[in-house]
Structure 1
Amino acid sequence: MLMEEMKELKNSVLGTKDEKATFDMEAICAEVIDREKRSKNIIIYNVTENIDMGSSQRLTEDKQQVIQILNQITEINPNELIISRIGNVQKNKNETSTSRNGGPPRERPIKVTFPNSEQALFILRNKKVKSPMTYV
């Protein structure tokens, strides 16, 4: 009887280890996939945003500004890019989105997604942008 209970406990412990190993492997795979997706992105800061425009007009203007910035680094195909602002639009410049030093509100950063990570990495390695206030 005691031997049977020991075998059952041993089997349950081994089963728990297998479940934990499976969970760890799933978490690792999810992390690798997430990093692969993020490796195609760059973030551009300090690009002016006209909040008085509609969202589609802002997106068009953002895309033009991003293309202008990236073309200073290399020729790109604008149709391959996915461009979006990060954060919420601050309709009123007096809202809580001020800079850390109490200055004027910050512009929302722009996330640019490339078709592959090589293009994003090339941009980051060669990011000597002519505008000193724009950060890639």
Structure 2
Amino acid sequence: MTDGTEERAPGDAAYVFRVRFRLDPAASGVSLSPNTFETTLERAADPPGEEGWLFFRDNLWRGEANDATHVRDLAEEALGGRGARTRPTGEGSGITVESVSFSELRTSEAYLDALEAAIGDELDADGGTFGNARSADEVLKNYLGSSIHVRPERS
């Protein structure tokens, strides 16, 4: 939107990952202890039916990262590591993601309803977007497993 307000999907949702990363100082004579950390990374879920909304299909299978290397690269880029273009020299920022595991889709009931409706529309339109799945419930189970956590709407 051009008026400065943030356009939001119905409800609220985020993909939640556990991330283990390492900081590697670029300056000589500098060391860190510890240099490895674990944290929780939340990636906002795109509005159902809009660009990016198929993140779950493209990156998850049965509640796990479907390609560990790719998901690590996504996390590293989000944190400003090797894949990010944060320095004029083209060097990364010294952040290396060692591991990423998917925890859950943390969602409101309204977002989940909108997601199920968008999946249903997609199934009705072509049926091939989600393989052989025949229902929104089957799609969600195939990609997210039992990793959907419905929470109350935020005010």
Answer whether TM exceeds 0.5 for this pair: no
| Structure holding more strand per residue | 2
Q: Which has the higher contact order (CA 8 A, sep 6+)?
A: 1
Structure with a larger share of its residues in helix = 1
> What TM-score do you get using the length of structure 2 for normalisation?
0.23
Q: TM-score, normalised by structure 1?
A: 0.25
